[in-house]
Homo-oligomer: A and B are copies of this chain.
């Protein structure tokens, strides 16, 4: 204990490298590192929302048009109209959400925004190739991964829903039947809030920079709203990657959840057996299997 206590997460490989006599037990990171290029899919530039905060922090969101097409179309229209240029992060509630947008302003919707989108809280399983999680789920009959996304689903009823995991991005709304429009967004910054699944439109997930939101001061008003506007974190720019010049736009790829690499990654996540772990769980929660995403270099 007088040595640095590592609480190794993915990096047991560092220590294993120092003990060459021992059989190498793969970590999730090892699987990611050794996966072939064919196991990865590039995220289209129109599916990337790039948010630059006034403090210089950048937060990148991958959109999910196959799950919430109308809300995602709204978000793209809002980005192209620079709707968020005077917006802010105005609510940060611990173990829950960071929320951003125009808050109570009456800013009119730009052209192309559908003010009353349909529900889009679920979609048909038909047309999705789902890799089952293989562990029980408390919130849906089944859980798994479709097209790179964590989902709850019912094979019997035929619905799938994007799961509210850490860093999931959804659309703020008022009481039902309002479904929100896309101008107000929240990101989960605490334990997975799966009870929100099938009750609100999920439109994506933060794939880079979630810590820029999760480390913001918590609001002290009810529900984590900031008391004074002076506490808001202004948004400098919120654009699609496709609005950024090709040489400057960031690019990312995610692991194909139908690939053999992902199957191996999932298995190891459920059975951690590297040097730090004594008793592999033999199971894993849907939200503890974060689909690997990495930056592409040009």
By a beta-carbon cutoff of 8 Å, the part of chain A in contact with chain B is 1-9, 11, 14-15, 92-97, 99, 101-107, 115, 121, 135-140, 165-167, 172-176, 178, 180-181, 183-184, 186, 190-195, 197-200, 210-211, 214-218, 222-223, 225, 269, 272, 275-279, 281, 283-288
Contact partner of A105 (CB less than 8 A), chosen from B2, B103, B181, B222, is B2
Q: Are A175 and B15 also in contact (CB < 8 A) when A183-B1, A191-B288 are?
A: yes
Q: CB distance A106 to B2 under 8 Å?
A: yes
Q: Bound state CA distance, A181 and B181, in angstroms?
A: 52
**Nearest residue, chain B, Cβ from A119:** B278
Q: Bound state CA distance, A107 and B186, in angstroms?
A: 44
Q: CB distance A176 to B276 under 8 Å?
A: yes
Q: Bound state CA distance, A137 and B1, in angstroms?
A: 32
> What chain B residues lie within 8 Å of A99 (beta carbons)?
5, 7
Q: Bound state CA distance, A94 and B214, in angstroms?
A: 8
**Nearest residue, chain B, Cβ from A95:** B166
> What chain B residues lie within 8 Å of A222 (beta carbons)?
11, 14
Q: Are A191 and B214 also in contact (CB < 8 A) when A174-B3, A186-B7, A285-B285 are?
A: no
Q: CB distance B139 to A138 under 8 Å?
A: no
Q: Bound state CA distance, A137 and B285, in angstroms?
A: 8
Contact partner of A5 (CB less than 8 A), chosen from B8, B93, B184, B214, is B184
Q: Give me 24 A-to-B residue pairs in the complex whose CB atoms sit less than 8 angstroms apart, sorted by A's number.
A: A1-B115, A1-B172, A4-B104, A5-B172, A9-B93, A94-B214, A95-B167, A121-B278, A138-B283, A138-B284, A139-B281, A166-B191, A175-B275, A176-B276, A176-B278, A191-B288, A192-B288, A193-B288, A199-B276, A199-B279, A215-B215, A215-B216, A215-B218, A285-B285
> What chain B residues lie within 8 Å of A104 (beta carbons)?
2-4
Q: Bound state CA distance, A225 and B6, in angstroms?
A: 9
**Nearest residue, chain B, Cβ from A108:** B2
Interface centre among A95, A101, A200, A223 (most CB of B within 10 A): A95
Q: CB distance A139 to B285 under 8 Å?
A: yes
Q: CB distance A197 to B7 under 8 Å?
A: no
List 6 A-B pairs, minimum CB-CB distance, nearest first. Answer: A5-B172, A136-B136, A135-B138, A94-B211, A138-B283, A5-B184
Q: CB distance B7 to A277 under 8 Å?
A: no
Q: CB distance B94 to A5 under 8 Å?
A: no
Q: Are A180 and B135 also in contact (CB < 8 A) when A11-B223, A215-B217, A272-B195 are?
A: no
> What chain B residues lie within 8 Å of A198 (beta carbons)?
278-279, 281
